[in-house]
Amino acid sequence: MVTRRILVFCLVCLLGWAWVTVAPAADDPLPSWNDGATKQSIIDFVTRVTKEGGPDYVAPPERVATIDNDGTLWVEQPMYTQSVFAIDEVKAQSNQHPEWNDQEPFKSVLAGDMKAVAAMGEKGMVEIVAATHSGMTTVAFNQTVSDWLATAKHPRFKVLYTDLVYQPMLELLAYLRANGFKTFIVSGGGVEFMRAFADKTYGVPPEQVIGSSGVTKYQMWDASPVLVKEPKVLFVDDGPGKPEGINHFIGRQPIFAFGNSDGDKEMLEWTAFCRRLCFMGLVHHTDAVREYAYDRDSSVGKLDKALDEALAKGWTVVDMKNDWKVIFPPAK
Amino acid sequence: MVTRRILVFCLVCLLGWAWVTVAPAADDPLPSWNDGATKQSIIDFVTRVTKEGGPDYVAPPERVATIDNDGTLWVEQPMYTQSVFAIDEVKAQSNQHPEWNDQEPFKSVLAGDMKAVAAMGEKGMVEIVAATHSGMTTVAFNQTVSDWLATAKHPRFKVLYTDLVYQPMLELLAYLRANGFKTFIVSGGGVEFMRAFADKTYGVPPEQVIGSSGVTKYQMWDASPVLVKEPKVLFVDDGPGKPEGINHFIGRQPIFAFGNSDGDKEMLEWTAFCRRLCFMGLVHHTDAVREYAYDRDSSVGKLDKALDEALAKGWTVVDMKNDWKVIFPPAK
C-alpha cells in the first residue's frame, strides 16, 4: 500500500515535471525556441527597450529591426531560391531567345549542365538574373514570381519554397511587431522578387522590404503608364551595401539586426554602434539532419568573419540544432 | 415698438446666418479649406475608399498617398529652400575651400552675384549641391540642416522656412492618416535634407520620405562605422523618376497623389492608372498677396503641361486664392 502510494506520488511528480519542462508557458512569445541563453537574450532585449521609464527604453518609432532573408528567414541551400527561379526562367524564356543556345551562361543552363554554370561563379549568375529579370513590366514580373512560387518545389524537401521558412523566426517577427517594432527585410536578394511573397509569408509589407534592385524606367505602353525592368543594376544590398541601403530606404539606424552570413557583417557592425541598447544576432546553420550544416567553407551563405566577430563581441549566435525545437511551420 | 421687435428679429436672423456660414462644422476635417468643389472632391474620395462594403473600398495597407514637398507642402519661391541652404553652405564651408574663390559657380556665390548663379541654371545648382552635400557623415549632415533650419529666415516672410508650410495641406495629411492612409513625401528634393524636418513638421517619419539621393559609402572612421556622403548622384526623384522612386521605395502604386508642378506629371499619370478609385491633385499658386502667383512661365515650380492634363482629365486643381482660407499655420 505504501509502495503504491509512493508510486502514485512519483507519477504525479513526473507528470508535473514533464509539464513544467515540455509544455510552453501560455505566454511564451517564442514557443519554438528552446529555453536557454539565446532565447533569453532576445526576450531580455525586447523587455528592456520597451520598459517605459527604464534606462534602455526606446520610443516605438525608433524600434527598427532589420532582418536578412536568405538563410535567416528561409532556406538558402543548396542554391539561393532566386537563382533557382532565374534558371527556370532561362528555360521558360528560351523560345524567345534562340541566341541563348550558343551563348554562355545560357547554353549550359539549357543543356542542364549545372556544374558548368556553377563554375562560372557569381558573374554567370548575375548575367542570368539580369537577362531573365528585365524587359517586362514590374507588374508582369511580380505575377511570374508568384506563379513560380506557387508550384516550384525544393529538391530535397519536396515542398514549396515558401513552406521552408523558419518557424522560430516567424515567431520572432511577430514578437517584435507585438512590441512596437517595425520589421524590415534587408537582403542581398532582389527587392521585387521578395516583395512578391514577403507580405503573405512574413507579414512584411512591400514598403518594408529592402533588397538589391535594377533600374526601372517609366514608359507608356499602349497609352498606359508602366514601369519596365532594365538589365542594369541600380543598387547592391549586400555587405557594406546593407547599412547604405538601410540609410537610403529607412533613414534610421536599426537597434535590432539579424543575419546569417558574412554579407550581414556590416549591417550588424553598424547596428552595434546604435549608441543605446542594440541587439545583433546570427543564425548558425548547425543542423544537417533537419536543415543544413554549413559556415566557413560554404559557397552559399558563407559565415566566417561575421562568426568570429559575433563570438568575440558577444552577439547572439543561434545554434540551429540546439536552440530551435522545430525548423519549419507545421505542414498545411 | 414693432420696429424694435423687427430689428431684434433681424439681428437674431443675421447672427444665425453668420454662425451657419462662417463657423466650421465641429467635425470638419479640413477647416482651412473653403467649402466648394475642391474640398468636396477630397472628402468624397476619402469617404468612398474607406466605406467598408462599398464598391470603391480600399483596404488600409493599400491606402498609399504620395505627396510632393516643394510648392505642395511648403513655399518654394523665390528659390527652393534646399538651394538657399546650399548657397549658405558654400559661404559656411568656403574657409576649407580656398579654390572656390576662382572657381565657378562658387566664385559668383561668394561674390554675392546671384544673377550670375541663376544664369548658370540647373547645372550650376547641381554642382553647388554636390559640393556642399558631400564629404561628411549622414549624421553630421542632418545636424547641419537642422541647425540651419532653426535660424535661417525666408527673405519675404521673415520667418523660419518650416513656418512656411501650408496649413490646409497639414490638415489634409492628418485627415488622410486618420482614415488609414500611409502618407509619403515624394519630392525632387534631397531625401536627407527633407528627413531632417519632415517628421517634426509634417508627421512623416524618415522611412516615408522619398527624394533624390546621392551615393553614401559605409566606412570606418576612428574605428566607428559611418555613412559618408559622396558627390555622386544615385537617383533623381523628379518627373518620370517619381513613379520609378515610388516603385523602388514603396513597391505599391498610390491611390492618392498631390503635386504642384510639371515634375509631378508622371506621378499623377501613373496614379490615375491605379485601376480603382484614385485621386490626383495639384496646388495652383494663384495668390500673389498671401503667397505667390505663378505657373507656366516660372523657373521654379513650373506648372504647364500638368495643368493642361489636370484640366482635361478632371483632376482636382486647388485654386490657392479661393480654396484656402489661410495659407500658413498661426504664428507660434
pLDDT tens-digit profile of B7-18? Answer: 454 455 444 444
Residue B331: pLDDT over 70: yes
Q: Report yes or no: B230 at the A interface, CB cutoff 8 Å.
A: no
Burial of A170 per CB tally in 10 Å (0-12, 13-18, 19+): middle
Q: Report yes or no: A197 at the B interface, CB cutoff 8 Å.
A: no
pLDDT classification of B4: cutoffs 50, 70, 90: low
Whether B207 and A249 lie within 8 Å, measured CB to CB: yes
Whether B251 and A206 lie within 8 Å, measured CB to CB: yes
Whether A209 and B273 lie within 8 Å, measured CB to CB: no
Angle at B18 between CA B16 and CA B19, to 5 degrees: 65
Those residues with Cβ within 8 angstroms of residue B51's Cβ, 6 or more apart along the chain or in another chain: B57
pLDDT classification of B26: cutoffs 50, 70, 90: low
DSSP symbol at B124: H
Whether B243 and A225 lie within 8 Å, measured CB to CB: yes
User: Alpha-carbon Rg of chain A, whole angstroms?
Assistant: 23
Those residues with Cβ within 8 angstroms of residue A40's Cβ, 6 or more apart along the chain or in another chain: none
Chain A residues within an 8 Å CB radius of B251: 191-192, 195, 206-207, 209
Closest Cα in chain B, distance from residue A191 (Å): 8
Whether B247 and A191 lie within 8 Å, measured CB to CB: no
Q: Report yes or no: B250 at the A interface, CB cutoff 8 Å.
A: yes
Mean pLDDT value across residues B66-81:
97
- What pLDDT is stored for residue B18 in this prediction? 47
Q: Report yes or no: B46 at the A interface, CB cutoff 8 Å.
A: no
Percentage of chain B surpassing pLDDT 90?
87
Whether B182 and A207 lie within 8 Å, measured CB to CB: yes
User: For residue A105, is the peptide bond before it cis, meaning its omega torsion is within 30 degrees of 0?
Assistant: yes
pLDDT classification of B186: cutoffs 50, 70, 90: very high
Other CB atoms within a 10 A radius of the CB of residue A123 amount to 9
Give the separation between CA B142 and CA A207, rounded to whole angstroms. Answer: 23
Percentage of chain B surpassing pLDDT 70?
92
The enclosing H or E element of A310 equals helix A305-313
- What pLDDT is stored for residue A10 in this prediction? 47
- How far apart, in Å, are the Cα atoms of A12 and each of A2, A135, B56, B205? 15, 68, 61, 56
Chain A residues within an 8 Å CB radius of B247: 138, 216, 227
Whether A248 and B191 lie within 8 Å, measured CB to CB: yes
Size of interface A-B (CB pairs under 8 A): 82
Averaged pLDDT in 10-residue chunks for chain A of 332 residues: 50 48 70 98 98 98 98 97 96 94 95 90 89 96 98 98 98 98 97 98 98 96 95 94 97 98 98 96 98 97 98 98 98 81
- What pLDDT is stored for residue A121 in this prediction? 84
Q: pTM value?
A: 0.91
pLDDT classification of B122: cutoffs 50, 70, 90: confident
Give the separation between CA A80 and CA A103, rounded to whole angstroms. Answer: 23
Q: Report yes or no: B3 at the A interface, CB cutoff 8 Å.
A: no
pLDDT classification of B46: cutoffs 50, 70, 90: very high
Give the separation between CA B33 and CA A237, rounded to whole angstroms. Answer: 44
Instruction: Report yes or no: B250 and A207 within 8 Å, Cβ to Cβ.
Output: yes
Instruction: Report yes or no: A250 and A210 within 8 Å, Cβ to Cβ.
Output: yes
Q: Which residue has the higher pLDDT, A302 or B3?
A: A302
- What pLDDT is stored for residue B243 in this prediction? 98
pLDDT tens-digit readout, B135-154: 999 999 999 999 999 999 99
Whether A244 and B192 lie within 8 Å, measured CB to CB: no
Other CB atoms within a 10 A radius of the CB of residue A260 amount to 28
Whether A218 and B270 lie within 8 Å, measured CB to CB: yes
